[in-house]
């Protein structure tokens, strides 16, 4: 702390013809001899030959902030050239803080600060002084204005008003890549000493990052920082005043730095072979299995496209990408048949959709794996040899006559025998029967083509080992005609024959019948013998 003896500046003014002129700044000059106290001379007449001391600023006092002494802090002295030390002059003080902050000895002109001051709260005070005659109470000089400046001490640490900070930088960035600029504010006087001169340093976060001690710019300090190894960094930054020297005050802040992703990793299959088991009954278009390549990148850098390498299975299977899981979904394009082919093998390629040219030198951003599909046998219903059976039978065929047969087989491994049934919900159920073992169809009633010329019904074939597994086929039976009726005249006729008629002569029905003609009665029908 500065005391009264430490305040070594004497504030003087120039005079013109012996008259001191207040309120006009003078250029700063160095004193030839060190003054012993701070004095402001008020205007007054002086001898032309009296020596005048010249100071830096003529109308300004300084007072130390945060003064904690037991006595009021001495500020300086007001003095009039008309004051001969005889006690006839009285000094008065008015203006900013007069009486409440600053007091003046009316006789000596000594000014004191009666309470502790804070420069950051109020940096200076403007006051007015005057010398008056004690007896007449009249001013001896014009009122003079001067300033008391609160001199700064280092009582404020730097503060990061915007902290804590959040920043990001792409992974694999080169050394020196810009991350963020931090700024600390010091409330002390930046124009006086080093109280507000801030120096930045890293307390935590090395060797990954560095900071410019003057600007507060944070940069990467290590090459090839990998997000897949470490993504989050917490850096502790310190700002210290007094130029970072010992005894300076310091403030800290946290900077949370995230490495953002770049596409520096290709997709990789975790294994070289994927085994899938698929039932032969799987429908076309169904998803029969999933495989996945792993890409440690993030977002669109991890998007994968799957393709089946041309070869075995390329026509039978397809693969698409599940956008949510980035899995390869294998789908069936054609039906499977265990009895025809029991296994398929093909290769699948996984590649990145969005490539980063900076990493092409690391190799192709793709990987391949083998997919082996085993077709599982599924117990299936019997299969008829034809999609439709057509048979013919003559009407009036005797009951029990076999007119045809159907055939169904169980194609599964370890095939089962088959039993046949007529579907009782279809027509023809009472006219025909079927042998449950042989599949032969026979008449069950006499058929009449003139009544029903065609029969359409269904036959069911089921497995003996599993009756629930069955299939159905349509049977179409055409009834053939038999010549069982003689010809008939559909319209009745009547006529007459004359006795003198000549052979081959016809009868005209419109001519009247002569008396000598024979009448032939109406014939209702004429049967052939």
Phi, psi of 132 (to 5 degrees): -125, 155
Q: Tell whether the model's pLDDT for residue 99 goes beyond 70.
A: yes
Phi, psi of 465 (to 5 degrees): -75, -25
Find all residues with CB under 8 Å of 330, minimum gap 6, and list them.
Answer: 276, 287, 288, 289, 290, 291, 317, 318, 319, 371, 373
Q: Which residues of 305-340 are buried (b: 16+ CB within 10 A; e: fewer)?
A: bbbbeeeebeebbbbebeeeebbbbbebeeebebee
User: Nearest 5 degrees, angle CA 208-CA 211-CA 213?
Assistant: 150
* pLDDT of the residue at 406: 95
Q: Tell whether the model's pLDDT for residue 16 goes beyond 60.
A: no
Q: What is the dihedral of CA 114, 118, 121, 127, to 10 degrees?
A: 40
Lowest mean pLDDT among 64-68, 230-234, 301-305, 321-325: 64-68
Mean pLDDT, to the nearest integer, of 354-383? 87
Higher model confidence: residue 238 or residue 355? 238
Beta-strand ranges (E) seen in 96-164 are: 102-104, 110-113, 124-133, 144-151
Number of C-alpha atoms within 13 angstroms, CB side, residue 177? 18
Q: Tell whether the model's pLDDT for residue 427 goes beyond 50.
A: yes
Q: Which domains does the chain have, with CATH numbers?
A: 60-151 (2.60.40.60), 159-260 (2.60.40.60), 273-376 (2.60.40.60), 383-480 (2.60.40.60)
pLDDT digits (tens, 9 = 90+) for 461-511: 998 888 888 999 999 999 998 876 677 666 666 666 676 767 766 655 555
Report yes or no: 258 and 231 within 8 Å, Cβ to Cβ.
yes
* pLDDT of the residue at 22: 35
Find all residues with CB under 8 Å of 208, minimum gap 6, and list them.
Answer: 220, 221, 222, 225, 233, 235
The DSSP bridge partners found for residue 146 are 127
* pLDDT of the residue at 83: 86
CA distance 297 to 300: 8
Tokens coding 119: 């420069």
Q: Tell whether the model's pLDDT for residue 357 goes beyond 80.
A: yes
CA distance 383 to 387: 9
Confidence at 135, pLDDT banded by 50, 70, 90: confident
* pLDDT of the residue at 45: 43
Find all residues with CB under 8 Å of 434, minimum gap 6, and list them.
Answer: 406, 420, 421, 422, 440, 441, 442, 459
Tokens coding 44: 């007054």
* pLDDT of the residue at 293: 97
Q: Write the DSSP symbol of residue 361.
A: G
CA-to-CA dists, residue 384 to 392, 421, 475, angstroms = 20, 13, 12
For the chain, how far is it from start to end, CA to CA, in angstroms? 160
Phi, psi of 202 (to 5 degrees): -100, 120
* pLDDT of the residue at 313: 65
Mean pLDDT, to the nearest integer, of 203-224? 96
Confidence at 11, pLDDT banded by 50, 70, 90: very low
* pLDDT of the residue at 2: 34
Tokens coding 231: 């993504």
CA-to-CA dists, residue 245 to 76, 213, 216, 267, 294, angstroms = 32, 13, 17, 53, 53
Average pLDDT score, the chain: 82
Omega prior to 164 cis, within 30 of 0: yes
Residue whose entry in the numeric block shows the structure tokens 């953002």:
260
Segment of 6-20, 120-134, 208-222, 436-450 carrying the highest mean pLDDT: 208-222
CA distance 161 to 117: 25
The DSSP bridge partners found for residue 350 are 306, 367
CA distance 396 to 241: 124
CA distance 203 to 226: 22
Tokens coding 179: 């991350």
Q: 418-422 and 454-463 as β-strands: parallel, antiparallel, unpaired?
A: antiparallel
Omega prior to 101 cis, within 30 of 0: no
pLDDT digits (tens, 9 = 90+) for 147-198: 999 887 888 899 999 989 999 999 999 999 999 999 999 988 888 888 889 9
Tokens coding 192: 């006086």
Tokens coding 361: 């030198």
* pLDDT of the residue at 89: 92
* pLDDT of the residue at 454: 93
Of the candidates 213, 209, 212, 204, which has an alpha carbon nearest to the alpha carbon of residue 240?
A: 213
Q: Tell whether the model's pLDDT for residue 216 goes beyond 50.
A: yes
CA distance 132 to 107: 11
* pLDDT of the residue at 285: 94
Report yes or no: 369 and 319 within 8 Å, Cβ to Cβ.
no
- The model carries a pTM of 0.59
**Percentage of the residues of the chain whose pLDDT score is greater than 70:** 79
């Amino acid at each position: 702390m500065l005391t009264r003896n430490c305040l070594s500046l004497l504030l003087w003014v120039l005079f013109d013809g012996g008259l001191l002129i207040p309120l006009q700044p003078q250029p700063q000059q160095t004193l030839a001899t060190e003054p012993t106290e701070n004095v402001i001379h008020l205007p007054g007449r002086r001898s032309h030959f009296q020596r005048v001391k010249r100071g830096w600023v003529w109308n300004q006092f300084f007072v130390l902030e945060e003064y904690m002494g037991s006595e009021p802090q001495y500020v300086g002295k007001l003095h009039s050239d008309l004051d001969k030390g005889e006690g006839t002059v009285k000094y008065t003080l008015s203006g900013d803080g007069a009486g409440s902050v600053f007091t003046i000895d009316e006789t000596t002109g000594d000014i004191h600060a009666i309470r502790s001051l804070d420069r950051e709260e109020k940096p200076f005070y403007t006051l007015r002084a005057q010398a008056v005659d004690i007896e007449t109470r009249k001013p001896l000089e014009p009122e003079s204005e001067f300033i008391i400046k609160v001199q700064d001490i280092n009582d404020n640490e730097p503060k990061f008003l915007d902290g804590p900070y959040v920043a990001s930088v792409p992974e694999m960035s080169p050394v020196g890549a810009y991350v963020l600029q931090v700024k600390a504010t010091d409330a002390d006087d930046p124009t006086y000493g080093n109280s507000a001169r801030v120096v930045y340093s890293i307390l935590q976060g090395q060797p990954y990052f560095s900071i410019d001690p003057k600007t507060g710019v944070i940069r990467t300090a290590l090459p090839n920082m990998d997000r897949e190894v470490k993504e989050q960094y917490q850096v502790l930054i310190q700002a210290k005043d007094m130029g970072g020297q010992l005894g300076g005050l310091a403030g800290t802040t946290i900077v949370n730095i995230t490495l953002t992703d770049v596409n520096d990793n290709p997709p990789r299959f975790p294994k070289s072979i994927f085994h899938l088991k698929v039932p032969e009954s799987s429908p076309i278009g169904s998803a029969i299995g999933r495989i996945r390549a792993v890409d440690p990148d993030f977002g669109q850098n991890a998007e994968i496209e799957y393709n089946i390498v041309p070869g075995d299975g390329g026509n039978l299977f397809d693969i698409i990408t599940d956008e949510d899981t980035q899995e390869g979904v294998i789908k069936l394009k054609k039906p499977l048949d265990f009895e025809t082919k029991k296994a398929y093998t093909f290769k699948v390629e996984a590649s990145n959709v969005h490539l980063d040219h900076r990493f092409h030198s690391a190799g192709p951003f793709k990987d391949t794996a083998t997919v082996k599909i085993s077709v599982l046998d599924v117990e299936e219903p019997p299969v008829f040899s034809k999609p439709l059976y057509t048979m013919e039978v003559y009407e009036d065929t005797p009951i029990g006559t076999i007119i045809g047969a159907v055939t169904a087989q169980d194609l599964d491994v370890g095939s089962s025998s088959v039993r046949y049934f007529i579907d009782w919900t279809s027509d023809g159920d009472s006219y025909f029967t079927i042998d449950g073992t042989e599949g032969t169809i026979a008449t069950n009633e006499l058929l009449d083509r003139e009544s029903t010329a065609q029969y359409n019904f269904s036959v069911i074939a089921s497995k003996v080992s599993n009756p629930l597994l069955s299939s159905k086929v349509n049977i179409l039976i055409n009834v053939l005609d038999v010549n069982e009726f003689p010809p008939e005249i559909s319209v009745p006729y009547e006529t007459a024959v004359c006795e003198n008629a000549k052979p081959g002569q016809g009868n005209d029905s419109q001519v009247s019948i002569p008396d000598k003609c024979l009448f032939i009665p109406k014939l209702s029908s004429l049967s052939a013998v």
